[in-house]
């Protein structure tokens, strides 16, 4: 119970009168001081009784828009408060929310009207995943002379639970970084990337983990806790075989079923799974053998133009390989004498390759992999492949994972023996290749 | 007690202030009449010219202090009666405790003020009464602190 400014004025006046009574030995001052203090005492007792009655009559009902939500996705909360408020009291209710939850527009406190029943709603944005429990409400009561803040966290005022699921890397739209987020992005990989919670600052905490916005709001230093890399799910990569190669149906089935199991397991364990599928064939490489070239050229121009989508050329690791491909196409042009349509199409491909080659300085696929893995959402990289055909992209992928210090495990489904697997492992830059049974 | 209207309390309070003033005027050395008029005028101006209904009671309390001081300095019991009258005017006003029976606040107050008057009257010096009042205030603060703590704990 704290005095309001009116009560503070009376307390100061009484204290001055007490001092004056002692100094001047005057009973008049003492009488005034004692009267004022008695008045405050009577009002304090009355305030206590009124507060007790009000809290006793209070009931809280909370309704959630949904019981499961995702990190960063607002959830509407509707809260109904019912109580009997004396006419000379003012009551405010505010939600007691965990530090890692932010009400939208920062509002989660409401005044209760004199009628005593009110329903209000607000949007809640959870920042970390896990079970979010509404621990109760904070009731602020005040009258003319006193105010009190009571935290009601008994089971009658708490609940229900809101399950917050993590947002998988490929799940949501990546928003442009704002000023505050840039700070978060600078956190080292070993500390993790996703905020798992907040806590008070203790000695020897790194000052760069202090969340200044929350600290200002709660008037104490609050530091962010990041989930370490070991808590994060693995990035599961499926390398689908080239359609040009010979496909072993049984091995392919094993590969797919294993990937399904791993994705399900990751989802059960972490609530999210990150799956990347490397698909498609090296279009540029097979175009020269295509009979209906016009259709292919139209498709490439529309959907996979090399100048617009360089990633379509990821299977071509270096510029030299493009040059080699360009020469092959040129040879085909010279050999083609009868079919003018095909010859024109090959000329078109040659022109495209000659335009792509100068700007193809760095393997684009490598940069894309590096950019993805640097985000730090993954504990390790698991690659599932049949290891058929061109494996240059696998080398780039493993190299990128090594660059960001992520362990890469390659799982293989096929008919290679131990020696061949060893050679492939050395070629790709991994220690071993695990066989999918 | 609830059947007694608040206007009765207001009337008694006003009369008690008048009694206090008349008592002082009958003493051997009363204060000058114009001083009494000024302090009474100050008190009633505090009652009339208030900024808001909420602040009205506080201003009345503070405006009544010069009156009580003047009367108590001349004759202690006149000050005691006037103080009870001022509290009565404040408590029986509609702004202060509209949700509470004012008699439940007023009667304990009158009791405490009379007890204080008795203690002061029985003392030769002000040291002991000051210590009693200060100790009582601190003790009550501690008691309220404990009760509030128990109230908060009951709902956690």
ipTM for the whole complex = 0.86
CA distance A314 to A311: 5
Tokens for B140?
């009550």
| B73 contacts A30? CB cut-off 8 A | no
Count of Cβ atoms closer than 10 Å to residue A45 Cβ? 17
Is the CB of residue A31 less than 8 Å from the CB of residue B123?
Answer: no
CA distance B99 to A86: 6
- Chain A nearest-CA residue for B80: A31
- Chain B nearest-CA residue for A37: B137
Number of domains, chain B: 2
Residues B113 and B98 in one domain: yes
Q: Looking at the predicted structure, is the pLDDT value of residue A227 above 90? A: no
CA distance A283 to A343: 18
Cβ within 8 Å of residue A174, ≥6 positions away: none
Residues B111 and B156 in one domain: no
| B72 contacts A50? CB cut-off 8 A | no
Q: For tokens 């119970």, name the residue.
A: A1
| A36 contacts B61? CB cut-off 8 A | yes
Which chain B residues are closer than 8 Å to A14 by Cβ? Answer: 137
Is residue B28 in some structural domain?
A: yes
Which range, of A206-220, A230-244, A296-310, B124-138, averages the lowest pLDDT? A296-310
Is residue B134 in some structural domain?
A: yes
Which chain B residues are closer than 8 Å to A8 by Cβ? Answer: none
What digits encode the pLDDT tens for the residues A349-385?
Answer: 777 777 766 665 555 677 777 777 876 667 788 889 8
Identify the residue among B75, B100, B141 best suited for mutation to test binding to A, counting A beta carbons within 10 A and taking the highest: B100
Q: What percent of chain A has pLDDT over 70?
A: 74
My answer on whether omega of the bond before A160 falls inside 30° of 0, hence cis, is yes
- Chain B nearest-CA residue for A58: B155
Which chain A residues are closer than 8 Å to B79 by Cβ? Answer: 28, 31
Instruction: Using DSSP bridges, classify how beta strands A146-152 and A2-3 pair: parallel, antiparallel or unpaired.
Output: antiparallel
Length of chain A equals: 437
Which chain A residues are closer than 8 Å to B76 by Cβ? Answer: 27-28, 31
What digits encode the pLDDT tens for the residues B101-113?
Answer: 778 888 899 999 9
What digits encode the pLDDT tens for the residues A296-334?
Answer: 667 666 655 544 444 444 556 566 777 777 888 888 888
Residues B56 and B115 in one domain: yes
The pLDDT-based confidence of B23 (bands split at 50, 70, 90) is: confident
Tokens for A243?
């359609």
Q: How far is A30 from chain B (nearest CA, A)?
A: 7
Count of Cβ atoms closer than 10 Å to residue B78 Cβ? 25
B125 closest CB neighbour out of A25, A28, A36:
A25
Angle at A103 between CA A102 and CA A104, to 5 degrees: 110
Q: What is the pLDDT of residue A90?
A: 83
Smallest CA-to-CA distance from A126 within A172, A175, A69, A179 is with: A69
B127 closest CB neighbour out of A22, A28, A152:
A22
CA distance A84 to A309: 67
Identify the residue among B90, B133, B142, B153 best suited for mutation to test binding to A, counting A beta carbons within 10 A and taking the highest: B133
Is residue B11 in some structural domain?
A: yes
Smallest CA-to-CA distance from A341 within A282, A296, A281 is with: A296
Residues B103 and B129 in one domain: no
Residues B62 and B92 in one domain: yes
Question: Following DSSP, what letter does each residue of B25-80 receive, concatenated?
Answer: HTSSSPPPHHHHHHHHHHHHHHHHS-S-HHHHHHHHHHHHHHHHHHHHHH-HHHHH
Residues B92 and B26 in one domain: yes
Q: How far is B47 from chain A (nearest CA, A)?
A: 16
Which chain A residues are closer than 8 Å to B133 by Cβ? Answer: 18, 30, 33-34, 37
Query: What is the average pLDDT value for chain A, to the nearest integer?
Result: 76
Cβ within 8 Å of residue B33, ≥6 positions away: B25
User: Cα separations (Å) of B44 from A211, B57, B71?
Assistant: 55, 12, 16
Is the CB of residue A96 less than 8 Å from the CB of residue A114?
Answer: no
Domain with B143, as residue range(s), is 125-156
Residues B86 and B152 in one domain: no
Q: For tokens 């360089």, name the residue.
A: A310
Which range, of A6-10, A149-153, B33-37, averages the lowest pLDDT? B33-37
Is residue B70 in some structural domain?
A: yes
CA distance A407 to A259: 18
Is residue B103 in some structural domain?
A: yes
Residues B78 and B147 in one domain: no
Which range, of A35-39, A290-294, A427-431, B147-151, averages the lowest pLDDT? A290-294
Q: Looking at the predicted structure, is the pLDDT value of residue A47 above 70? A: yes
Average the pLDDT over A24-46 and give the result.
89
Strands (E), A258-389: 274-278, 380-385
| A44 contacts B87? CB cut-off 8 A | no
Identify the residue among B51, B99, B104, B117 best suited for mutation to test binding to A, counting A beta carbons within 10 A and taking the highest: B99
| A25 contacts B96? CB cut-off 8 A | no
Q: What is the pLDDT of residue A341?
A: 76
Q: Looking at the predicted structure, is the pLDDT value of residue B35 above 50? A: yes
Burial label, B139 (beta-carbon count in 10 A; 0-12, 13-18, 19+): exposed
Is residue B1 in some structural domain?
A: no
Q: What is the pLDDT of residue B118?
A: 92
Average the pLDDT over A35-55 and give the result.
90
Tokens for B21?
């003033």
Residues B40 and B103 in one domain: yes
A46 closest CB neighbour out of B72, B105, B129:
B105
Smallest CA-to-CA distance from A93 within A63, A54, A124, A67 is with: A54
| A51 contacts B130? CB cut-off 8 A | no
Exposure string for A185-202, b = 16+ CB within 10 A, e = fewer: eebeeeebbbbbebeebe
CA distance A172 to A186: 21
CA distance A367 to A84: 65
Residues B71 and B132 in one domain: no
A37 closest CB neighbour out of B54, B83, B137:
B137
CA distance B108 to A38: 9
Residues B18 and B47 in one domain: yes
Is residue B85 in some structural domain?
A: yes
Which range, of A44-53, A291-300, A332-341, B123-132, averages the lowest pLDDT? A291-300
Residues B41 and B92 in one domain: yes
Which chain B residues are closer than 8 Å to A39 by Cβ? Answer: 61, 87, 109
A101-105, A154-158, B94-98: range with highest mean pLDDT: A154-158
């Amino acid at each position: 119970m704290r005095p309001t400014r009116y009560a503070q004025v009376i307390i100061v006046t009484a204290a001055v009168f007490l001092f004056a009574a002692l100094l001047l030995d005057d009973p008049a001052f003492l009488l005034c001081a004692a009267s004022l203090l008695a008045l405050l005492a009577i009002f304090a007792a009355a305030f206590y009784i009124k507060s007790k009655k009000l809290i006793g009559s209070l009931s809280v009902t909370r309704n959630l828009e949904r019981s499961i939500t995702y990190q960063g996705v607002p959830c509407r909360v509707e809260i109904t408060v019912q109580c009997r408020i004396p006419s000379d009291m003012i009551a405010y209710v505010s939600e007691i929310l965990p530090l890692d939850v932010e009400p939208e527009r920062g509002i989660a406190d409401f005044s209760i009207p004199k009628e005593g029943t009110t329903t209000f709603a607000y949007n809640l944005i959870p920042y970390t995943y896990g079970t979010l429990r509404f621990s109760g409400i904070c009731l602020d009561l005040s009258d003319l002379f006193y105010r009190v803040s009571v935290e009601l966290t008994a089971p009658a005022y708490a609940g229900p639970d809101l399950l917050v699921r993590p947002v998988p890397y490929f799940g949501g739209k990546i928003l442009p970084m704002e000023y505050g987020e840039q700070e978060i992005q600078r956190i080292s990989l070993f500390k993790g990337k996703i905020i798992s919670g907040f806590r008070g600052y203790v000695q020897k905490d790194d000052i760069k983990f202090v969340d200044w916005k929350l600290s200002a709001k709660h008037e104490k230093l609050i530091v962010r806790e990041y989930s370490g890399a070991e808590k994060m799910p693995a990035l599961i990569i499926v390398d689908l075989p080239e359609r040009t190669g010979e496909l072993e149906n049984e091995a392919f089935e094993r590969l797919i079923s294993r990937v399904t199991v791993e994705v399900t397991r990751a989802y059960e364990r972490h609530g999210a799974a990150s799956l990347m599928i490397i698909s498609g064939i090296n279009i540029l490489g097979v175009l020269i053998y295509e009979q209906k070239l016009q259709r292919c050229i139209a498709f490439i121009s529309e959907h996979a133009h090399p100048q617009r989508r360089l990633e379509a050329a990821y299977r071509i690791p270096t510029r030299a390989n493009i040059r080699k491909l360009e020469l092959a196409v040129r040879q085909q042009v010279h050999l083609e004498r009868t079919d003018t349509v095909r010859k024109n199409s090959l000329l078109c491909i040659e022109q495209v390759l000659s335009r792509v080659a100068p700007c193809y300085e760095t393997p684009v696929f490598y940069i894309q992999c590096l950019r993805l893995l640097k985000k730090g959402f993954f504990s390790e990289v698991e690659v599932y492949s049949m290891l058929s055909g061109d494996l240059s992209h696998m080398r780039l992928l493993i190299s990128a994972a090594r660059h960001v210090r992520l362990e890469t495990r390659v799982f293989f489904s096929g008919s290679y023996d131990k020696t061949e697997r060893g050679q492939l492992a050395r070629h790709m830059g991994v220690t071993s290749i695990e066989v999918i049974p | 007690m609830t059947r007694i209207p608040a206007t009765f309390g207001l009337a008694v309070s006003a009369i008690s202030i008048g009694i206090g003033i008349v008592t002082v005027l009958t003493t051997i050395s009363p204060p000058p009449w114009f001083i009494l008029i000024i302090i009474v005028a100050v008190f009633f101006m505090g009652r009339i010219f208030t900024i808001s209904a909420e602040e009205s009671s506080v201003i009345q309390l503070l405006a009544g202090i010069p009156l009580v001081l003047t009367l108590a300095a001349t004759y202690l019991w006149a000050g005691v009666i006037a103080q009870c009258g001022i509290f009565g005017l404040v408590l029986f006003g509609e702004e202060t405790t509209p949700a509470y029976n004012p008699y439940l606040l007023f009667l304990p107050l009158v009791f405490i003020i009379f007890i204080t008057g008795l203690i002061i009257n029985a003392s030769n010096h002000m040291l002991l009464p000051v210590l009693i009042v200060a100790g009582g205030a601190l003790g009550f603060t501690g008691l309220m602190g404990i009760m509030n703590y128990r109230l908060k704990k009951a709902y956690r």
